[in-house]
Structure 1
Amino acid sequence: MSTMKTLSQKTGLWLLTLFFVLAYLLPINNRLLWIPDESRYAEISREMIQSGDWIVPHLLGLHYFEKPIAGYWLNSISQLLFGETHFAVRFASTLSAGLTALLIFWFSNWLFQNYKKAIAATACYLSFILVYAIGTYSVLDSMVTLWLNLTLVCFYVSLQARHSRTKLLGYALMGVAAGLGFLTKGFISLAVPVIVALPYLVYRKQLNELRYLWVALLTMLLVSLPWAIAVHLRAPDYWHYFFWVEHIQRFSGNDAQHKAPFWYYLPVLVAGCLPWLGVVPAALRQTWQQNQLRPVVVFLLSWCLIPFLFFSAAKGKLPTYILPCFAPLAILLGHGIMELIEQKKWQSIRLNSWINMLFGGLLVLALILVGLGLVGKKTVYTTEDHLALTLAICCFLGWLLAGWFSLRYPEKSLLLTACCPLVLGLLLGWSLPSTLINSKLPETFISKHLQELHDSRFVFSNDVGLAVSLGWQLQRADIRLFGADGELAYGLADSAQKDKYLNAESFAQWLPQAREQGNVAVVTRNKPGLIPTKLPQADEVIPQQNFTLFYYRQTKHD
């Protein structure tokens, strides 16, 4: 019996590993880099390696103080290991998602002493559509989520420890995780564990645990202080900008970035739960009814709901911010779903299957109608996108079929439901329409004109995201901005960097002398508010939908 259990456990772990390789690792090299996020993190890390400066972050040679350093370190190490590839750019984010899944497996098994529920929790987490989208995309949220989750797991394990030595070790590790979170995304990594842990201590009447706080604080400082002091010595204005602009103004000020209403995250949470949406109510109810697990369930619900409300109250919002809510949700669902399957309560399992079939079917129908030009005023898939459209239909046909099989075989619904996003992940890179590629993925356009751009002494762009993509592909940090500064405004304010930005009038005055030194290329992103109208006449103008290259050849003197 023990041998059979071990074999079954190994099978489950191998299947999870196979899913992670197929859905997460395999596709990440096959997609172009999105602007502005992915190209930004790729270029910051490339410049870090090129310059050898691992203390002060730079973007296009400018100070870039929006985030701390640890995420860039991980991305830079990835590029050192795998080269300047799309795989390297996304690997740190994807690895963080995989390590979070491993943490969920261990913690769920430790909580429930049931490997099947641990496997179910891990399968839920890896197949959540929001987790998958962020975990295969180069942003810092997947990394900081790993450290936030580890911080809270260490807190709960330490809380249950009976021996002082174990408790001290747990709180020390908690501080290390919090420090790494701080080095990845700043003070928010400290605030979230506090707003979860403190109410739970009140609920359990264990406020005396606060006497161990000094251990966590000490290890957190040991991890974070060396870089914090080093960056202050190298760039004294870093902490003022990072604390005031990136935390106070971004989240609570009237001019907060990405402002959205309080209820913004509710549809994000609902959609992010796919392909498990239909089973969530029944699974949570099933878990809540286990009275002996009530303290565990309260902790997991606090871990899920309190950050959700915290980020909902902030004025600045992005879907990625609530990623930490999905780990505790996956653990709760893993327990509840296995209870439902073991008790053969198929009603909610079948409901979930129908929702996945409906979701996949509606998107297949929508893509067919879009492809035939029967809906929508704008052409999404052009006549040249037949293969991409076919693959896009296959993506959601795979989702529909996984839902159908889980309806047909409810006892195997855990595996089948987790496979819903698999085909989508494998084919997404080839299923994007050219209209989207020519709007948010400029690498194709840049690749077509690498020769002209490499031969240019000066390269300009009217869009920060496009400028960063140029820096990444041309492997040069001296890309200049024309008429737009965006997120680089703070770095450009440095008087030593005035030549990095020109408006239309100053560009026209600067150009004749610059052409004596070499070719000048201006790559523009053609969208309302960005299209330049006062550029001097170029020797060559090369348009392609959303991007245009204005090429000025070097002036030769007799």
Structure 2
Amino acid sequence: MNKNLVLLLALAAVVYTANIWGTSIYILDEAKNAGCAMEMYQRGDWVVPTFNEALRTDKPPLHYYFMKAGFSIVGITPFGARIFSSVMGILTVLVVFLFCRTMIHEDAAFYAGMILVSSLQLAVQFHLAVPDPYLIFFMTLGWLSFIYAYVEKKHNYYYIFYAAIALATLAKGPVAVIFSGLLVLIFLFAQRNFKWKTLMQLKLFQGTLLFLVIVLPWYIAVGVETQGAWLEQFFFKHNVNRFTSSMEGHGGFPLASVVIVIGALMPFSFFFPQALRMIWKEQRKDAFVQFCFIAMTVVVIFFAFSRTILPSYPEPAVPFFAILLGYFFYWVQKKGKVKRLKLRINALVYLIIALAIPFGVWFALQAESNLKDLSSLAVYFVLLPLGAGAALVYLWKKDLDTALYIYTLTAVVFLMIFFYSAFPEIDERNPVTQSVAHFNQHTEIPVVGYKDFNPAYIFYFQKPVNKIETPAALHDYANAHDQFYIVTQKRHIAELAGENFQVVYEGKDLFERPVTVLLKNR
């Protein structure tokens, strides 16, 4: 097997699976997605997603299916919930390398793979039990299959395109169709090839049929089983409303998606100003480069106007950004038409940013009342400016290859430290992990939730938590039970002032505003 590919896959496996078993399912999105998959697995249900026995309409089921497979292999554990997210990351690196090697050159493919495995943001994403890893992989596979079929006249690859977009639609919904439709439409217009004959060559009718055969059965089934409730809430609340209004406190700012994508591929993205000029010229005569540029731009611009945004939203653009940067570095090595001084300036700017990162981390930890004593973890981030400085030295020596290898090696070593040492220490301070000692000592005592409570408790208990919504209902429950625990948030305690409850634990949710409280009746 190709040694460059073996090295990239080994690095991807090491990075994307690093300690996926060693930290708790705690982050809000992870807790709800893993908890939903757990309930479907326990019921043997393949159609209706629920969380805490309530209909969950946030996402379609593909990632739940993969998590169910993980649970069937290793049990209901963080590893079982996350393992296939890591696999999606490894496969993303694989398809980027293979298509890029065929369409450009092996050196460009290797650079693109290096850039992907060096991304902290992607590494975190491929560690999480959420739908985004599946969306990223299937959209990358689908879009690269499309452009390969178009350029190389391998028309059977269009079927891979339609199948992959169908699976992406089962991962996150109509956004996969919208992006793909916009991308193909803009690309064909840019190629001046928007013709009926071309549409027939794209296997439009056969591909649409294949897409519908894959997608429709579940959407029809969930519509029937929930009497249309899932479809209505998913399409209107979780798609239209997320784009037109800020939801769940995830408001953005103009061009937030641009900042997110640039941050995702640091330090390599700092060379994009020079790369953009070259790419703009090359895309006029190279259909593959043009396609990748449009793919990246469509996603970034779309989310630039979204009122709700998370770091994961524009990530389908990241593999194509990596391909363009990989092509740029290959082009520099092959033709050397970029002034080396400009590359050094880019590297110097990144070094300055990298020097600020440890201080930023220190202040962020200081701002969290339950993490102040862990501020020394910021020292791990000193590795980033050290690597940036070493890479700058080699760029000054006109040794671009060694500089890129140093950036990658620094990133991989840092990610190992982050996932195996720094993040586990932070994770141990989350209020769910901190409070479970009370439950472990008294497993016979029932637990209820009052109004809002941390969703990670559902996955920890591996069963639903009885949710009580009013003080009167909680009072009735107290009259019927001698002892029980209540998980809730501090802002709700005032409503229970007349009850005989004792606070046995209180802890702020990590990097969030709510304060988790554990109560026990006296």
Q: TM-score range by the shorter chain?
A: 0.7 to 0.9
1:27 positional shift: 2.7
Of residues 468-477 and 283-292 in structure 1, the stretch that sits farther from structure 2 once superposed is 283-292
- Mapped contact 2:448–2:466 kept (Cα < 8 A): yes
Code of the aligned partner of 1:13: L
Tell me the secondary structure at the aligned position of residue 316 of structure 2.
helix
Which consecutive residues of structure 2, in runs of 5 or more, have no partner in the other structure? 509-515
Per the alignment, residue 512 of structure 1 pairs with 479
Per the alignment, residue 193 of structure 2 pairs with 206
In the alignment, structure 1 residue 150 sits paired with structure 2 residue 141: yes
Equivalent residue in structure 2 for 1:197, among 184, 194, 201: 184
Per the alignment, residue 473 of structure 1 pairs with 460
Matches within 5 A, 1:328-347: 328-342=320-334, 346-347=340-341
Question: Within 2, Cα distance between the matches of 1:30 and 1:459?
Answer: 27
- Mapped contact 1:380–1:435 kept (Cα < 8 A): no
Code of the aligned partner of 1:347: L
Of residues 86-95 and 358-367 in structure 1, the stretch that sits farther from structure 2 once superposed is 358-367
1:80 positional shift: 1.8
Q: Deviations over 1:456-495 (max 9, x none)?
A: 234224434x1x3112111112x033xxxxxxxxxxxxxx
- Mapped contact 1:182–1:188 kept (Cα < 8 A): yes
- Mapped contact 1:106–1:118 kept (Cα < 8 A): yes
Q: Cα–Cα, structure 1 residues 378 and 226, in superposed 2: closer, same or farther, change >3 Å?
A: closer
Question: Within 1, Cα distance between the matches of 2:102 and 2:213?
Answer: 29
1:321 positional shift: 0.9
Question: Within 2, Cα distance between the matches of 1:254 and 1:403?
Answer: 37
Question: Within 1, Cα distance between the matches of 2:124 and 2:368?
Answer: 26
1:512 positional shift: 0.5
Tell me the secondary structure at the aligned position of residue 18 of structure 2.
helix
Matches within 5 A, 1:224-235: 224-235=215-226
Code of the aligned partner of 2:446: R
Per the alignment, residue 357 of structure 1 pairs with 351
Question: Within 2, Cα distance between the matches of 1:58 and 1:97?
Answer: 26
Q: Cα–Cα, structure 1 residues 510 and 535, in superposed 2: closer, same or farther, change >3 Å?
A: farther
Code of the aligned partner of 2:113: T
Per the alignment, residue 502 of structure 1 pairs with 469
Q: Cα–Cα, structure 1 residues 22 and 525, in superposed 2: closer, same or farther, change >3 Å?
A: farther
Q: Cα–Cα, structure 1 residues 72 and 435, in superposed 2: closer, same or farther, change >3 Å?
A: closer
Question: Within 2, Cα distance between the matches of 1:502 and 1:338?
Answer: 60
RMSD over aligned Cα atoms: 2.8
Code of the aligned partner of 2:385: L
In the alignment, structure 1 residue 104 sits paired with structure 2 residue 71: no
Of residues 203-212 and 529-538 in structure 1, the stretch that sits farther from structure 2 once superposed is 529-538
Code of the aligned partner of 1:534: L
- Mapped contact 2:362–2:378 kept (Cα < 8 A): no
Code of the aligned partner of 1:545: G
Q: Cα–Cα, structure 1 residues 340 and 27, in superposed 2: closer, same or farther, change >3 Å?
A: farther
Matches within 5 A, 1:87-98: 87-98=79-90
Q: Cα–Cα, structure 1 residues 150 and 18, in superposed 2: closer, same or farther, change >3 Å?
A: closer
Code of the aligned partner of 1:447: V
Which consecutive residues of structure 1, in runs of 5 or more, have no partner in the other structure? 1-5, 482-500, 554-558
In the alignment, structure 1 residue 85 sits paired with structure 2 residue 70: no
Per the alignment, residue 497 of structure 1 pairs with none
Code of the aligned partner of 1:419: L
Equivalent residue in structure 1 for 2:422, among 419, 431, 452: 431
Per the alignment, residue 420 of structure 1 pairs with 410
Matches within 5 A, 1:66-85: 66-85=58-77
Of residues 345-354 and 294-303 in structure 1, the stretch that sits farther from structure 2 once superposed is 345-354
Q: Cα–Cα, structure 1 residues 78 and 356, in superposed 2: closer, same or farther, change >3 Å?
A: farther
Question: Within 2, Cα distance between the matches of 1:81 and 1:436?
Answer: 25
1:352 positional shift: 4.3
1:182 positional shift: 1.1
- Mapped contact 2:13–2:86 kept (Cα < 8 A): no
1:265 positional shift: 1.9
Per the alignment, residue 552 of structure 1 pairs with 521
Tell me the secondary structure at the aligned position of residue 517 of structure 2.
strand
- Mapped contact 2:111–2:329 kept (Cα < 8 A): yes
Of residues 23-32 and 170-179 in structure 1, the stretch that sits farther from structure 2 once superposed is 23-32
Question: Within 1, Cα distance between the matches of 2:364 and 2:59?
Answer: 40
Q: Cα–Cα, structure 1 residues 159 and 548, in superposed 2: closer, same or farther, change >3 Å?
A: same
Per the alignment, residue 513 of structure 2 pairs with none
Tell me the secondary structure at the aligned position of residue 545 of structure 1.
strand
- Mapped contact 2:96–2:319 kept (Cα < 8 A): yes
Tell me the secondary structure at the aligned position of residue 106 of structure 1.
helix
1:540 positional shift: 4.5
- Mapped contact 1:45–1:73 kept (Cα < 8 A): yes
Q: Give the total of aligned pairs.
A: 502
Q: Deviations over 1:241-286 (max 9, x none)?
A: 2222222222225879734343222322332231213212223333
Code of the aligned partner of 1:134: Q
Code of the aligned partner of 2:172: K
Question: Within 2, Cα distance between the matches of 1:418 and 1:221?
Answer: 41
1:452 positional shift: 5.0
Per the alignment, residue 459 of structure 1 pairs with 448
- Mapped contact 1:33–1:443 kept (Cα < 8 A): no
- Mapped contact 1:70–1:183 kept (Cα < 8 A): yes
Tell me the secondary structure at the aligned position of residue 488 of structure 2.
strand
Matches within 5 A, 1:29-48: 29-48=21-40
Question: Within 2, Cα distance between the matches of 1:538 and 1:425?
Answer: 48
Q: Cα–Cα, structure 1 residues 536 and 88, in superposed 2: closer, same or farther, change >3 Å?
A: farther
Per the alignment, residue 150 of structure 2 pairs with 159
- Mapped contact 1:278–1:351 kept (Cα < 8 A): no
Per the alignment, residue 448 of structure 1 pairs with 437
- Mapped contact 2:70–2:83 kept (Cα < 8 A): yes
Code of the aligned partner of 2:496: K
Question: Within 1, Cα distance between the matches of 2:377 and 2:237?
Answer: 43
Tell me the secondary structure at the aligned position of residue 524 of structure 1.
strand
- Mapped contact 2:244–2:306 kept (Cα < 8 A): yes
1:422 positional shift: 2.4
Per the alignment, residue 387 of structure 2 pairs with 402
- Mapped contact 1:364–1:393 kept (Cα < 8 A): yes
- Mapped contact 1:370–1:380 kept (Cα < 8 A): no
Q: Deviations over 1:197-256 (max 9, x none)?
A: 011111212223222211211111111122122222222222122222222222225879
Question: Within 2, Cα distance between the matches of 1:132 and 1:435?
Answer: 17
Per the alignment, residue 173 of structure 1 pairs with 160
Q: Cα–Cα, structure 1 residues 269 and 530, in superposed 2: closer, same or farther, change >3 Å?
A: farther
Equivalent residue in structure 2 for 1:260, among 252, 256, 271: 252
Question: Within 1, Cα distance between the matches of 2:435 and 2:225?
Answer: 35
- Mapped contact 1:182–1:189 kept (Cα < 8 A): yes
